[in-house]
Structure 1
């Protein structure tokens, strides 16, 4: 039977708690775990910004289609080829941003295991990941603010700038993935 005083022995209880934490594969008090949680939180926020950009672009595409592609009539049975090309370009842009959002969601973080801790300075890696994620937040907000409330004509007129922004986000994602590889 356990000694009643064992419930008050801070040193023995601490040792037991740490052994359990390590057995569970987690230690609540390690800086690396806080950094890992921060990384996941920041990535979710960046995903939300890209989702908002997807929504704004999809709205611009829908408005373009409503305005430029009316139902066929006897007078005009075929749609305007320029309007169709614009709708396809908007649709492609929505898809590009959606794929970047999905790619961001699937970005890895360093595993929390002894082998990773042995061969890699985990805290340093997580700090660099957080810096990349902060850049993604800025890029995502810039993209979201550029397309928020814009119509299809504006988006089409500024496609080059938007594609340059998507290329920058893609590069940041590649750099981030290389940190974990």
Structure 2
């Protein structure tokens, strides 16, 4: 064979690539790999939606503080306790949304290893995860839509619903973890 001709030997290159893919534990033509990739994409979009929601709540909190918590003066040296409590509720809501955003980004997907393949049907597990992730994205979009472009007062009016939404998102993440650990629901 001429010098450099092995770079054009399709059969030999396919064998090398296949060995490398299997050595890396990856075969990009498998359904499971597409589902794993989809799962990661969906979760990144859910986290992105929560990032937007957190930014909206943070902006509303800043505006609320500017409007209802002016700098101290001789006439009024101490801030209104109710306004401080409301600002703190907005701050806690933003932190709660941020914590869920981080939790979504840190969620694992099933590993592509022999133990996973031996004890669990990976494609079925990933399909179940996608179902949970669809629910998760819906919840995150609902959260985003409820706070997007809203004032602090408007957000405070629906704070109970928003806190309930945070609880629902946490529940979906727990269900997802249950699926990942192989416990049936």
In structure 1, what is the equivalent of residue 73 of structure 2? 73
Deviations 1:91-140 (A, max 9, x none): 11111111111111111110111111111100000111111111111111
Q: Alignment length, in residue pairs?
A: 180
Alpha-carbon distance in structure 2 between the residues aligned to 1:109 and 1:180? 7
**How much has 1:28 moved relative to structure 2?**
1.0
1:43 aligns with 2:43: yes
In structure 2, what is the equivalent of residue 140 of structure 1? 140
In structure 2, what is the equivalent of residue 151 of structure 1? 151
In structure 1, what is the equivalent of residue 123 of structure 2? 123
Going from structure 1 to structure 2, the CA distance change for 1:21 and 1:154 (only over 3 Å counts) comes to same
Helix, strand or coil: the match of 2:85? helix
Going from structure 1 to structure 2, the CA distance change for 1:74 and 1:128 (only over 3 Å counts) comes to same
Deviations 1:34-81 (A, max 9, x none): 111111111100000000000000011001100000000000000001
Helix, strand or coil: the match of 1:150? coil
Helix, strand or coil: the match of 1:79? coil
Output the aligned Cα RMSD.
Answer: 2.0
Alpha-carbon distance in structure 2 between the residues aligned to 1:5 and 1:91? 63
In structure 2, what is the equivalent of residue 93 of structure 1? 93
Alpha-carbon distance in structure 2 between the residues aligned to 1:82 and 1:6? 74
Alpha-carbon distance in structure 1 between the residues aligned to 2:126 and 2:65? 44
Task: With the length of structure 2 as denominator, give the TM-score of the two structures.
Answer: 0.90
Alpha-carbon distance in structure 2 between the residues aligned to 1:177 and 1:27? 25
Task: With the length of structure 1 as denominator, give the TM-score of the two structures.
Answer: 0.92
Alpha-carbon distance in structure 2 between the residues aligned to 1:84 and 1:145? 25
Q: Any gaps of 5 or more consecutive residues in structure 2? A: none
